[in-house]
Structures are given as structure tokens and as C-alpha cells.
């Protein structure tokens, strides 16, 4: 093992040493972590025992002897007693700002039964002034004790007088009560809009309460945004604390607007932002952003403008993704496309020509095919030399899609924990189709750089769950789905760290424990590389470091 210094810094010091003008303080580490089992995710030095940290970056990485001798009287030294250290995790596609706000202003419906959800909503309604909405979040239709979906009448019983909306944790379907439909003027005669669907009782044709994808727009028009700037800042504070506790140091927020950018900046200024965030901007805001001279990359190591976010289809956890073959058990239900190819092209073109990276939500093979055609056309017409087009989720693939993803250098951000966490939904897709879903093995074998992503709230953000799901392809009940897509634990760690940095053009500044990179790392209670894969999820996160400071200590 040998020590490596940041070469640019060393060259810099070499060039000034003869003059002795600058004090050499920047070479002096503030902190050294030693006696650690470090997996660096840096191929030039995969393993190390110690790191020296200065000014928020790794100054040196190597053996205890090599690194400890850099210490001065002022250097703090921390003996990690053999604990495992990995680079901080990067959740490349999640929704921290909105899920943090949910924590502040909505009823958490991640509850074990419809009865429990009703009780929680009833309590909130009692405190809500007449005429105002009651909102629920993180509902999951397949996880309740009753074994059925929440219905309009369940909601009417709990919230008879206020309009109520309970969003599925996947974010594409919402369940409404009768007061909400009345307020929006939606009834059984309302036709399904393009890209959307109101579920109806097959016997009576009455609305069941569930609205999918574009159908929600008819109700959202009647939901005034009552969240305050303070609520949003508080949301960022809460979610970043929870994510730091799980070992996350970077996120891609996959759907931001100006109010979210403000919330991140407010939280940062208050010292409450505990991750680095790459803000994918919803397409609706693109014109304003372009007019203000903004584009992908503006910002700094903590808050940065990311890609322009577009949508092609629906959701996997809510079964609205657009598939080429019908959902299992149906002959004619294929899911929903939410934009035509021409719409997608026009929107993407505007972003592409203005110098934006593009991230398009595309789950089903039909949506991925359509999105790739748009990307291919853009590169034919106005080539960028490093566009790093993103395929958000990119769930269901085939060989020809993989070849095209590779050819254009696109980046998939597949759901990392779905096999483990959403196992009870996998029968909607079937064992055969699962061989080509969340297809990490196929991507890595093709030389593509997929990321780790929770899509939180769609699935939990704990990176240890992502590792277990990708390595075992086994759900919580022991069912295996698509064993052919298993990857090794070393691969899964790289996907969750360095690949996330690549997806945001930041692979030279973070994602591995390398000299010169940002000092983001996690200290674990056990070594995932030696752990039984079926217990990875139980490995405790003991500390998380963000830019040389502990963002979480157990
Ligand atoms: Zn998302």
C-alpha cells in the first residue's frame, strides 16, 4: 500500500516551494481516520487503512504508516478500530424536497391497514378548517392488512366534509374522496384524459377513487399550494437528516421547481442541508430557467442545477408503466404513455439546444424505445460531445434497447430496492419479464454506467437495502425475481457511489475515496463485502461524513 497525493496539489506545491511564499498549511491534515477497512472504489488503490482530510477533501489515502506521519500537533486522529469505510452513497433519483415537505404538511399513510389510515386522516380532518384539503402521502395499495385498495367510500367515511387526497408512495396515483371529486367537477361521466385514467367499478361504472397519472391534473388544479417557504426549509432539514443517517451524501432530486431550489438554499444557509443535491428541473419551469441564463451544472458542490426532467410513461410500483406486452392477468392493459414522441422531442430539443442535460422518466420498454428515438434524433441533428442523456428508471429492457443505450452513452437510473421492497407487486409483471427489469447485470455487462436510486418515497432510501436487493434479487418473503440480473457487492457499491457522480458530471470531484476528492464517506458497523448477502440490510451505519464533517454520528 502506498500513499497517493492529489497530483495537481502536489504540482502546485512543488512550483511554489522554491519561493517559500505560501505557508504549507494546506498540506496539513485537520483529521486523520486510521485503522479502518477502507474500500475506496478507486481502481488505482482499491484498499486503504487511513485517510487524511483537509479543507473538506481527501488529502491522502493509504496505509496507517503512510498517512499518520502527515499528522501535526493540530491534527485530530480517530482510530476506527477496523470498521469498514466506503464512499458516501449517492441516491441518483429521489424526491427529497417534496418528500421532506410531505413530512411537514401531510398525513403519513405508510400504515399497516386501511383502518389505521382512516384513523390518521380523521384526526387530521378534525384540525383542518372547513374547505381546506386533507392530504395523505406514502400510501401503498399492496401493503395493507385488508388485502385491497383504499376506496372512495373508505375515504368518505374518514373525511366526509373536506376534500381529501391520498397519494401513493410511487407518486403517480392518488386516491380521492367524494368531496374532492365534487369540488373538481369530476364524475363517472368524465372521460379519461390522454395519459391518464380514473378507475371505475366494473359493475356500477362509479369512480373507485383512484386516479392515475394525467387524470390527477383535473383535481390538482383545485389544490392551492399552501406550503410556506418555512415549511419547505423544514422539509429539507428533516429529509436530509434522515438520509445522512442512512449513509447518503449526495442525491439527485428528480423534480424540482424554483421553490425547491429556494428551500435547498435556505436549508443550506441555516446549516441544515446534510447532502449535496443535483436538482433536476421539471420541464414546466424550463423557459423561466433558460430566460434567467441557467443551465445544467450551475451551482457548487452542495446545490447544483441538474438535468431537465421529462416524462414518457407511468409507474412500476403503481402499474401504469407502458409495456409492450400486457400486464400479467390482463389481455389489453399495457399501461400509460404520458407524452407523444413529438411532444417529447419538442421539449427535449428546447433543453438540448440550451445546453441542458435531459433526464426522461421512462419505465416500460415502449417508453424507453420512444425516449431513445428522441435522444438519437437530437444527437443526429445537433450533436453534443458529452450529453449524458439520462433514462430515469429505465426499468424494462431488451437486448436492442441495451445496445442503443450503450451506443448513445445514456445513463439508466434503475430502482435499486424494488425486488426486495416491492416483491408483492412483481406478479403483475411476471417472472419472465422480471429477467429484464431493473437490469443491472445487463447494463454493467454492456459497459453502461447505471446508478443507485430509490425514487423515495417510491421505495425506502436506505442504501443497504439497495445493495441487498441488487445482489440477491430476493424479496422480503424469499422469492427470487430475475436471478440473472444479480450483481456483485463490489459492483453494487460502485453503482451507488462513483456511478452516481458520473451521472451528474462530478466523477472527478466525488464518488470514490481518492486524494483531492470531496471527503464524503460512510463508516459501517460491518463489512458489506464479507456479509452474507441476505443480511446486508441489517448492517448499521455508524457515521456519515460530508465534506470532512460528520453529518451523522450514532
Ligand atoms: Zn421519480
**Residuewise pLDDT in 10s, the chain (554 residues):** 455 544 444 444 433 333 333 444 457 999 999 999 999 999 999 999 999 999 999 999 999 999 999 999 999 999 999 999 999 999 999 999 999 999 999 999 999 999 999 999 999 999 999 999 999 999 999 999 999 999 999 999 999 999 999 999 999 999 999 999 999 999 999 999 999 999 999 999 999 999 999 999 999 999 998 899 999 999 999 999 999 999 999 999 999 999 999 999 999 999 999 999 999 999 999 999 999 999 999 999 999 999 999 999 999 999 999 999 999 999 999 999 999 999 999 999 999 999 999 999 999 999 999 999 999 999 999 999 999 999 999 999 999 999 999 999 999 999 999 999 999 999 999 999 999 999 999 999 999 999 999 999 999 999 999 999 999 999 999 999 999 999 999 999 999 999 999 999 999 999 999 999 999 999 999 999 999 999 999 999 999 999 999 999 99
CA 55 to ligand 1 center in whole angstroms? 34
Q: What are the cell numbers at 380? A: 443526429
485 burial (CB, 10 Å; 0-12 / 13-18 / 19+) is buried
CA of 58 from ligand 1 middle (Å) equals 32
Distance 228 CA to ligand 1 centre (A): 23
Query: How many whole angstroms from 459 Cα to the centroid of ligand 1?
Result: 10
pLDDT, residue 113, reads 97
Dist. CA 72 → ligand 1 center (Å):
46
- Of 283, 293, 290, 393, nearest to 347 by C-alpha is 283
CA of residue 415 to ligand 1 center, whole Å: 10
Distance 494 CA to ligand 1 centre (A): 21
Strands 37-39 and 31-34: unpaired
Q: Are 109 and 149 in contact (CB under 8 A)?
A: no
Cα 1 from Cα 204, distance rounded (Å): 72
Instruction: Compute, in angstroms, the gap from residue 460 CA to the centroid of ligand 1.
Output: 13
Report how far ligand 1's centroid is from the alpha carbon of 455 (Å).
Answer: 5
Helix axes 365-381, 399-408, angle to 10 degrees: 30
Tell how far the Cα of 293 is from the centroid of ligand 1, in angstroms.
26
E-only strand ranges, 80-227: 84-87, 89-94, 107-108, 134-139, 164-168, 173-176, 196-200, 207-213
Tell how far the Cα of 318 is from the centroid of ligand 1, in angstroms. 13
Please give the distance, rounded to the nearest whole angstrom, from the Cα atom of residue 93 to the centre of ligand 1.
6
pTM of the full structure = 0.93
What is the CA(92)–ligand 1 centre distance, in A? 10
Q: How far is the CA of 348 from the centre of ligand 1 (A)?
A: 18
50 CA distance to ligand 1 middle (Å): 37
Res 27: pLDDT: 74
Contact of 164 with 132, CB cutoff 8 Å: no
For residue 95, report the distance from its CA to the centre of ligand 1, in Å: 6
126 C-alpha vs ligand 1 centroid, how far in Å?
32
Q: 10 C-alpha vs ligand 1 centroid, how far in Å? A: 42
> How far apart are the CA of 245 and the centre of ligand 1, in A?
21
Centroid of ligand 1 to alpha carbon of 551 (angstroms): 25
Question: Which of these, 439, 432, 333, 453, lies nearest to 395 by C-alpha position?
Answer: 439
Q: How far is the CA of 313 from the centre of ligand 1 (A)?
A: 12
Q: How far is the CA of 253 from the centre of ligand 1 (A)?
A: 8
Q: Say how many Å lie between the CA of residue 456 and the centre of ligand 1.
A: 7
Spacing, Cα 175 to ligand 1 middle (Å): 19
Strand positions, DSSP E, 268-354: 276-282, 303-311
Q: What is the pLDDT of residue 415?
A: 98
Q: How many whole angstroms from 268 Cα to the centroid of ligand 1?
A: 23
Question: Phi-psi region for residue 264, left (φ > 0), alpha (ψ -120 to 50) or beta?
Answer: alpha
Ligand 1 centroid–CA 463 distance in Å is 17
Could you give the CA distance from residue 174 to residue 102 in angstroms, rounded to a whole number? 14
Amino acid at each position: 500500500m502506498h500513499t497517493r497525493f492529489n497530483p495537481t496539489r502536489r504540482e502546485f506545491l512543488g512550483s511554489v516551494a522554491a519561493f517559500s511564499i505560501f505557508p504549507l498549511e494546506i498540506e496539513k491534515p485537520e483529521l486523520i481516520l486510521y485503522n479502518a477497512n477502507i474500500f475506496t472504489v478507486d481502481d488505482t488503490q482499491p484498499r486503504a487503512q487511513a485517510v487524511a482530510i483537509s479543507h473538506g477533501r481527501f488529502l491522502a489515502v493509504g496505509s496507517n504508516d503512510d498517512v499518520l506521519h502527515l499528522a501535526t500537533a493540530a491534527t485530530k486522529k480517530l482510530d476506527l478500530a477496523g470498521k469498514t469505510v466506503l464512499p458516501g452513497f449517492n441516491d441518483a433519483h429521489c424526491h427529497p424536497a417534496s418528500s421532506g415537505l410531505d413530512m411537514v404538511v401531510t398525513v403519513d399513510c405508510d400504515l399497516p391497514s386501511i383502518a389505521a389510515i382512516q384513523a390518521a386522516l380523521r384526526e387530521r380532518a378534525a384540525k383542518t378548517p372547513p374547505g381546506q384539503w386533507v392530504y395523505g402521502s406514502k400510501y401503498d395499495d399492496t401493503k395493507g392488512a385488508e388485502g385491497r385498495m383504499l376506496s372512495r367510500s373508505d375515504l368518505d367515511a374518514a373525511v366526509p366534509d373536506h376534500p381529501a387526497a391520498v397519494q401513493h408512495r410511487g407518486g403517480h396515483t392518488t386516491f380521492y374522496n367524494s368531496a374532492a371529486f365534487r369540488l373538481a367537477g369530476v364524475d363517472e361521466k368524465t372521460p379519461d384524459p390522454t395519459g391518464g385514467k380514473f378507475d371505475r367499478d366494473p359493475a356500477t361504472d362509479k369512480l373507485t377513487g383512484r386516479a392515475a397519472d394525467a387524470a390527477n391534473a383535473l383535481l390538482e388544479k383545485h389544490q392551492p399550494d399552501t406550503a410556506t417557504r418555512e415549511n419547505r426549509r423544514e422539509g429539507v432539514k428533516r429529509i436530509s437528516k434522515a438520509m445522512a443517517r442512512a449513509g447518503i451524501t449526495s442525491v439527485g432530486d428528480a423534480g424540482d421547481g424554483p421553490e425547491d431550489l429556494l428551500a435547498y438554499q435556505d436549508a443550506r444557509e441555516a446549516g441544515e442541508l446534510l447532502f449535496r443535491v443535483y436538482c433536476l428541473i421539471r420541464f414546466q419551469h424550463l423557459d423561466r430557467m433558460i430566460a434567467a441564463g441557467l443551465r445544467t451544472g450551475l451551482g457548487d458542490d452542495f446545490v447544483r442545477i441538474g438535468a431537465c426532467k421529462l416524462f414518457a410513461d407511468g409507474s412500476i410500483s403503481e402499474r401504469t408503466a407502458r409495456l409492450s406486452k400486457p400486464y400479467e392477468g390482463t389481455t389489453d392493459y399495457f399501461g400509460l404513455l404520458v407524452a407523444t414522441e413529438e411532444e417529447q422531442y419538442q421539449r427535449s430539443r428546447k433543453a438540448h439546444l440550451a445546453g441542458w442535460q435531459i433526464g426522461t422518466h421512462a419505465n416500460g420498454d415502449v417508453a424507453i424505445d420512444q425516449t431513445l428515438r428522441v435522444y438519437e434524433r437530437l444527437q443526429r441533428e445537433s450533436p453534443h460531445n458529452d450529453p449524458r442523456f439520462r433514462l430515469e428508471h429505465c426499468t424494462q429492457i431488451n437486448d436492442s434497447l441495451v445496445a442503443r443505450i450503450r451506443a448513445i452513452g445514456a445513463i439508466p437510473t434503475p430502482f435499486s430496492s424494488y425486488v426486495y421492497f416491492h416483491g408483492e407487486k412483481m406478479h403483475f409483471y411476471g417472472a419472465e419479464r422480471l429477467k429484464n427489469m431493473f437490469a443491472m447485470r445487463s447494463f454493467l455487462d454492456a459497459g453502461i454506467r447505471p446508478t443507485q436510486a430509490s425514487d423515495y418515497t417510491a421505495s425506502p432510501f436506505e442504501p443497504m437495502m439497495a445493495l441487498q436487493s441488487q445482489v440477491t434479487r430476493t424479496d422480503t418473503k424469499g422469492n427470487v425475481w430475475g436471478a440473472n440480473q444479480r450483481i456483485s457487492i463490489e459492483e453494487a457499491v460502485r453503482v451507488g457511489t462513483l456511478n452516481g457522480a458520473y451521472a451528474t458530471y462530478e466523477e472527478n470531484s466525488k464518488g470514490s475515496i481518492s486524494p483531492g476528492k470531496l471527503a464524503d464517506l460512510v463508516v459501517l458497523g460491518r463489512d458489506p463485502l464479507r456479509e452474507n448477502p441476505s443480511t446486508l440490510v441489517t448492517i448499521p451505519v455508524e457515521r456519515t461524513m460530508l465534506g470532512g464533517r460528520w453529518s451523522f454520528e450514532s
